Amino acid sequence: MSRSKKESIIIFDTTLRDGEQAPGFSMTIDEKLALAEQLARLNVDVIEAGFPRSSPGDFESVKKIARVVKGPIIAGLARAIDADIDSCAEALKPAKRKRIHTFIGTSEQHLQHQMRKSKPEALKMAVNAVRRAMSHTDDVEFSAMDAARTDRAFLYEILEAVIAAGASTVNIPDTVGYAIPSEFGELIAGIRDNVPNIKKAIISVHCHNDLGLAVANSLAAIQNGARQVECAVNGIGERAGNASLEEVVMAVRTRRDFFRADTAVNTKEIHKTSRLLVSITGVPVQPNKAIVGENAFAHESGIHQDGMLKERTTFEIMTPESIGLKKSKLVLGKHSGRHALRKRLEDMGFTLSDGELDHTFAKFKELADKKKEIFDEDLESLVGEEMAAKVKPVFELAHMQTTSGTNTIPTATVRLVRGKETLTDSSTGDGPVDATYRAIERITGVSGKLLSYNIRSLTLGKDAVGEVTLRVSIGDEVYAGRGSSTDVIEASAKAWLNAINKKAGAK
Ligand code: MN
């Protein structure tokens, strides 16, 4: 392979498929759509929108994304079974550019224990699946599941056969996260050297992070000729997750000199994409996470700060601006008007309908009364609430009052509105949040178990807005909720109600 000219690396995002199927990351159709639209702004090449045959909800969300999201190729996953492939094709129908991604287990472990098929049988199924998919679209990807543990000779054979059948992308997953970078790179080189028709297809990789090596393995694969990387925002996915999109992209971008390759990703959208995923799922990112962690660009030590002040490149290999991270700055105040708000939101990449803007403006005025200075992060949270409101709130918070303190019994009185009904109740608890949740449970009749609860301050200062993200299990399902307010008890109530409304709306 010529390494003189810059090669392009295709970014295949699987946040909505592999990421979403991990426990605690389920999203509603509207949430998936909002994330898919953001992935389009991020300019990924392929969005894997879901696994249509796995559930009616997955089918509907793939279909909706296929209809609405413009730009990237929309892909759907399908087992090597006719019914899966046809259902996938049906869901992808509205997409301008579509890809069917079909897969079969190829390792001894998968053939013997999961599929109970012989190698020739698996090969035949794979070829048939690719042919079937080719009858729906000419963009077909084949994955040899558990490729990293597959017998080499058989892997070469099945790849040659599916390429001959029309697959234009062959994906090499390290499904169980077992590979070591040099070994995985050598596997990719082996495929390039031993599959006779490999030049007719793009080599893709899909690495899992069980040993913390998903990104390293993906980069080793790029060095050895892989030209597509499957990855997920914030590295979410089955078990320890997938290769993190932002780490792969920024490694390649920062070290273009080394890889002689680049992606088409608009890195300035990385921070926003990561935050959107957090606010949708309620699962925070660890502070020291590469690229998108809160501390990723913080220089705390004296020596580092001194170096940074003299010359940024002393300790900075990439700028916070390159991932769209701006310094918090005062943007608007109490006297700012509707136009200023619209303008600022547009600069931040949010386009709201007139109705949504009216609603957000009212919220903005309310907030400006409580808090003198409004920052970008505050606006982001208002827009996030507007998005959350699309969940068609069944219950809305009208009023709440809590008492707590030393040697008092924490008590909450809550008033909710449902349609024209006003519902009021109160409860005690072991703290004001607990009392509030108990009162809401009494009113709504919906009881849930709190699985996680996180609170963060959006900006500096004692008057900052607090944002609560949480996950609640109600029956068999897990719902994420978020809410924000200058009063953290109120933010907690809003987050809980947001989750309950998703449950009520899903009925
Ligand atoms: Mn996977």
> Is the pLDDT assigned to residue 4 strictly greater than 60?
no
Please give the DSSP secondary-structure letter assigned to residue 482. Answer: E
Q: End-to-end alpha-carbon separation of the chain, Å?
A: 55
- Residue 226 shares a structural domain with residue 356: no
Q: Which of 195-199, 379-383, 489-493 is predicted least confidently?
A: 379-383
Ligand 1 center to residue 206 CA distance, Å? 7
- 433 and 374 share one domain: no
- In this prediction, residue 188 carries a pLDDT of 98
Structure tokens at 114: 């999961």
Residue 178, in any domain of the structure: yes
Task: Say what the pTM is.
Answer: 0.81
Q: How far is the CA of 252 from the centre of ligand 1 (A)?
A: 22
**Range(s) of the domain holding residue 480:** 396-506
Output the CA 242–ligand 1 centroid distance in Å: 7
Asked if 151 and 123 touch (Cβ cutoff 8 Å), the reply is: no
pLDDT at residue 370, rounded to an integer: 81
What's the 166 CA to ligand 1 centre distance in angstroms?
A: 23
As a whole number of angstroms, the distance between CA 471 and CA 478 comes to 7
Distance from the CA of 484 to the center of ligand 1, in angstroms? 34
Distance 19 CA to ligand 1 centre (A): 8
Q: What is the mean pLDDT of residues 396-404?
A: 94
Tokens 């409101």 found at = 389
Q: What is the pLDDT of residues 189-243, one digit of tens each?
A: 999 999 999 999 999 999 999 999 999 999 999 999 999 999 999 999 999 999 9
- 403 and 350 in a common domain: no
Is residue 252 situated within a structural domain?
Answer: yes
Percent of the chain past pLDDT 90, that is, above it, reads 65
C-alpha of residue 232 to centroid of ligand 1, in Å: 10
Which amino acid appears at position 67 of this protein? R
Distance CA 357, CA 360 (A): 5
pLDDT in tens, 167-179: 999 999 999 999 9
Cα(479) to centroid(ligand 1), Å? 23
260 and 192 together in one domain: yes
Averaged pLDDT for residues 477-497: 90
Assigned domain for 2 exists:
no
Q: What's the pLDDT at 412? A: 96
Number of continuous H segments (helices) and E segments (strands) in the chain = 17, 18
The reply to whether 247 falls in a domain is yes
In a domain, 291, yes or no: no
314 & 346 share domain: no
Give per-residue pLDDT as tens, 461-482.
777 888 898 889 898 888 888 8
Distance (Å) from CA 349 to ligand 1 centroid: 31
In this prediction, residue 376 has a pLDDT band, given cuts at 50, 70 and 90, of confident
Identify whether 289 is part of a domain: no
Average pLDDT over the chain, rounded to an integer: 91
Task: Give me the pLDDT at residue 54, please.
Answer: 94
Distance 130 CA to ligand 1 centre (A): 20
Question: What distance in angstroms lies between residue 51's CA and the mean position of ligand 1's atoms?
Answer: 12
Q: Which of 206-215, 255-264, 378-387 has the lowest mean pLDDT?
A: 378-387
Burial class (CB in 10 A: 0-12, 13-18, 19+), 350: buried
Would residue 229 count as lying in a domain? Answer: yes
- Residue written as tokens 């054979």? 157
| CA 415 – ligand 1 centroid, Å | 45
Cα 303 to ligand 1 centre (Å): 42
Strand pairing class (373-375; 330-333)? antiparallel
Measure 259 CA to ligand 1 centroid, in angstroms: 25
CA 15 / ligand 1 centre spacing (Å) = 10
In this structure, are 491 and 378 located in the same domain?
Answer: no
Compute, in angstroms, the gap from residue 40 CA to the centroid of ligand 1: 21
pLDDT in tens, 273-327: 998 998 888 888 998 999 999 888 876 666 766 776 777 777 778 999 999 987 6
Task: Answer yes or no: is pLDDT of 131 > 80.
Answer: yes
- State mean pLDDT over 107-125: 92
How many angstroms separate the alpha carbon of residue 193 from the centre of ligand 1?
A: 26
- The confidence band for 503, taking pLDDT boundaries of 50, 70 and 90, is confident
Whether 162 contacts 142, CB under 8 Å: yes
Q: Are residues 20 and 108 in the same domain?
A: yes
Band of pLDDT at residue 414, cut at 50, 70 and 90? very high
User: Which comes out higher in pLDDT, residue 394 or 333?
Assistant: 394
What mean pLDDT do residues 58-68 have? 97
- Inter-residue long-range contacts of 109-114, CB under 8 Å, 24+ positions, other chains counted: 109/146, 109/149, 110/145, 110/146
Residue 433 confidence (pLDDT) above 50 = yes
Considering the domain architecture, whether residues 410 and 261 belong to the same structural domain is answered as: no
For the chain, give the percent of residues with pLDDT over 70: 95
Provide the pLDDT for residue 1: 46
Are residues 148 and 179 in contact, defined by beta-carbon separation less than 8 angstroms? Answer: yes
Neighbours of ion ligand 1 (CB under 5 A): 18
User: 382 alpha carbon to ligand 1 midpoint, in Å?
Assistant: 34
* Number of compact structural domains in the chain: 4
- Least confident span in 10-24, 72-86, 448-462: 448-462
**258 CB-near residues (< 8 Å, 6+ apart):** none
What's the gap in Å between 297 CA and the centre of ligand 1? 29
Residue 177 and residue 41 share a domain: yes
Q: Which CATH number goes with the domain that contains 415?
A: 3.30.160.270
What is the per-residue pLDDT for 2?
Answer: 46
CATH code at position 263:
3.20.20.70
**SS3 per-residue string spanning 125-151:** HHHHHHHHHHCCCCCEEEEEECHHHCC
Q: Same domain, yes or no, for 332 and 307?
A: no
Give the distance (Å) from ligand 1 centre to CA of residue 320. Answer: 30
Residues 315 and 361 in one domain: no
pLDDT of residue 143: 98
Q: Examine residue 59 and state whether it is found in any structural domain, yes or no.
A: yes
- Compute the half-sphere exposure of residue 422: CA atoms within 13 Å on the CB side of its CA: 5
* d(CA 210, ligand 1 centre) in Å: 11
Q: Do 183 and 131 share a structural domain?
A: yes
* Separation of CA 288 and ligand 1 centre (Å): 24
